[in-house]
Amino acid sequence: MTRVGPVRDLRIIGAPSDFGQGRRGVDMGPSAIRYAGLQEKLQQLGHRVEDLGNIPVPPPEQHRVTDEKLKYLPEVRAVCEALFERVRNVVDAGHVPIVLGGDHSISIGSVAGVAAARPSFGIIWFDAHGDMNTHETTPSGNIHGMPLAASLGLGHPELTHLGGFAPKVQPDKVVLVCVRSIDPDEARLIKESGITVFTMADIDKRGMGDVMEEAIRIAGDGTDSIHLSLDLDALDPMFAPGVGTPVNGGVTYREGHLAMEMLAASQKVGSVDVVEVNPILDKRNQTGRMAVELVESLFGKMVL
């Protein structure tokens, strides 16, 4: 096994929360990814890896929804505050956090932690969905559809001002890749926000290589690092069946790896979320293994 790029100090953080989802099961995502050998395989690449365990997350059965437009808001915020502190400390120490979700709402905390420690950064958001809803546009009230909007300062103050500041990132440094399922009001917000978007149609027309080259240029130009938020539903369900909100027509196995390989070659990735793995809906941990393989490519695994 060979590696491109330098040896990295990696820190794994579990965020086993499904408060932001409408379907149970993603709270077991960190366990599924760990079971697939994440730490061992990254160590085999020569990286220095430490697993910091999970942030504490209570089960949803102990809580109830009080706002249908912001389901489990206090619980989501508490999880994200704990993750914010953990990620900020890891980045401050010069290490690379690999955050294992959990649903995508946890990225409100991880992005905030990165922003507090390293204000100059860009984001590549790899997702079938826009995650650009707010409490005013959401059709479901599930906060896992809001983390990118919150990171840009759009939405409820309890989410946008996590960590005491907003926005966490500037829109001209944010790239949304692989989208193919957008809510109508969310589409308006995306167009008004100023972020760059590459849909699956763009990938079909231009190819993943061309799209990622531009995405890395936008998110990496003038920034100290890139944060990758990797939702496994970006991939086609054929390759990643164990996700909470699968959408047909997604990224292929090789397209996913090419994207990660190009990010590795850029040497700009300073933090990553891996989210929405749902073992209950998976087939023999196929999606957990896919997550590990993609992270291997992200941190330099090469054929030769």
Rounded to whole angstroms, the Cα distance separating 165 from 145 reads 21
Which of 224, 233, 287, 303 has the alpha carbon at shortest distance from 33?
A: 287
131 catalytic, yes or no? yes
104 catalytic, yes or no? yes
**Catalytic residue from among 104, 135, 156, 227:** 104
201: exposed, middle or buried (Cβ count in 10 Å: 0-12, 13-18, 19+): exposed
Q: What angle do CA 253, 259, 261 make, to 5 degrees?
A: 100
Q: What tokens appear for 219 in the block?
A: 């998110």
231 catalytic, yes or no? yes
**Catalytic residue from among 18, 27, 103, 131:** 131
**Catalytic residue from among 183, 233, 282, 296:** 233
**Catalytic residue from among 18, 75, 183, 231:** 231
CB 268 within 8 A of CB 237: no
127 catalytic, yes or no? yes
95 catalytic, yes or no? no
For strands 96-101 and 121-126, give the pairing. Answer: unpaired
276 catalytic, yes or no? yes
CB 122 within 8 A of CB 174: yes
**Catalytic residue from among 95, 144, 156, 257:** 144
Helix axes 107-117, 73-92, angle to 10 degrees: 30
Contacts of 144 (CB under 8 A, 6+ apart): 20, 21, 103, 104, 105, 131, 244, 276
**Catalytic residue from among 27, 186, 276, 296:** 276
Rg of the chain's alpha carbons, rounded to an integer? 17
Output the DSSP codes for 212-248. HHHHHHHHHTT-SEEEEEEEGGGB-TTT---BSS--S
CB 108 within 8 A of CB 162: yes
**Catalytic residue from among 129, 135, 156, 257:** 129
257 catalytic, yes or no? no
Q: How many other CB atoms sit within 10 Å of the CB of residue 64?
A: 9
Tokens 């409820």 found at = 156
51 catalytic, yes or no? no
**Catalytic residue from among 18, 127, 183, 273:** 127
Q: Which residues are catalytically annotated? A: 104, 127, 129, 131, 144, 231, 233, 276
